[in-house]
Amino acid sequence: LAKTTQPISMDSYEGQEVNITCSHNNIATNDYITWYQQFPSQGPRFIIQGYKTKVKNEVASLFIPADRKSSTLSLPRVSLSDTAVYYCLVGGGNAGNMLTFGGGTRLMVKP
Amino acid sequence: NAGVTQTPKFQVLKTGQSMTLQCAQDMNHEYMSWYRQDPGMGLRLIHYSVGAGITDQGEVPNGYNVSRSTTEDFPLRLLSAAPSQTSVYFCASSYSDRLGEQYFGPGTRLTVT
């Protein structure tokens, strides 16, 4: 199973761009990289998924270098409501693959 | 579209009791999974299923059983509850060709005394 490593916590201020990096050195060829957001007392919520290069949606961007051994989630102009735990997952390329969550990054957005 | 539903929301058990946590989804997803989340920790995979009639073990399967008789339902059974199983349990589902994009239920908070 591909293991992921993320910073335990990060602080930011409202209106700033936040970049959270995840390392996954043993990512497999058919693995995708996925990021989730979790608020207290709720289940995780899918944010974005990518395989290589850059992916962007209405809430975030995901940057993946050519070697795919790391990825960076970018949240533009964060607000207080972005305070949450963010998880990076690697896997899911084939039916039958297990998806494992790491410890996540606790993002605190301050006013 | 209800998404992923879980019952009950809260449950208190005594050591040695058994119970079943229910999970259902109405999105016709092939893949379903159960996770547990201990306080301040990430999620750990208990069991998963890639389709009706097919289940497999995750990272922490001991003490839990699952079955998948229909596409919609994926119950998790605690055989003989132990205090170490006190946790929040999440069920999730996805299409089998998009395993990374899972939809999670609201969770069941279980306390074993």
Q: What's the pLDDT tens digit per position in A82-110?
A: 999 999 998 876 645 677 787 899 999 99
Q: Can you tell me which residue has the tokens 């290589």? A: A52
Q: What share of chain A is helix, strand, coil (3-state, %, to 5)?
A: 5, 50, 50
Residues 6+ away with beta carbon under 8 Å from B93 = B4, B25, B27, B29, B31, B32, B33, B74, B102, B103
Nearest residue of B to residue A40, measured between CA atoms: B40
Q: What is the pLDDT of residue A98?
A: 73
Nearest residue of A to residue B104, measured between CA atoms: A43
Chain B partners within 8 Å of A41 (Cβ): 107
The answer to whether the CB atoms of A34 and B100 lie below 8 A apart is yes
Mean pLDDT for all residues in chain A:
91
Name the 3-class secondary structure at B58. coil
Chain B partners within 8 Å of A94 (Cβ): 99
- Residue ranges in chain A modelled with pLDDT below 70: 1-2, 93-97
Judge whether residue B88 has pLDDT over 90: yes
Q: What is the pLDDT of residue A101?
A: 80
Q: What is the pLDDT of residue A93?
A: 65
Cβ-based neighbour number of residue B95 at 10 Å: 15
Chain B partners within 8 Å of A104 (Cβ): 42
Per-residue tokens: B71 = 């596409």
Per-residue tokens: B42 = 């990430």
Chain A partners within 8 Å of B66 (Cβ): none
Q: Measure Cα distances from A91 to A44, A95, B50, B93 in Å.
A: 16, 10, 14, 15
Is B36 touching A (CB cutoff 8 A)?
no
Nearest residue of A to residue B10, measured between CA atoms: A41
Give the separation between CA B36 and CA B87, rounded to whole angstroms.
6
Pick from B103, B28, B21, B110: nearest CA to B71: B28
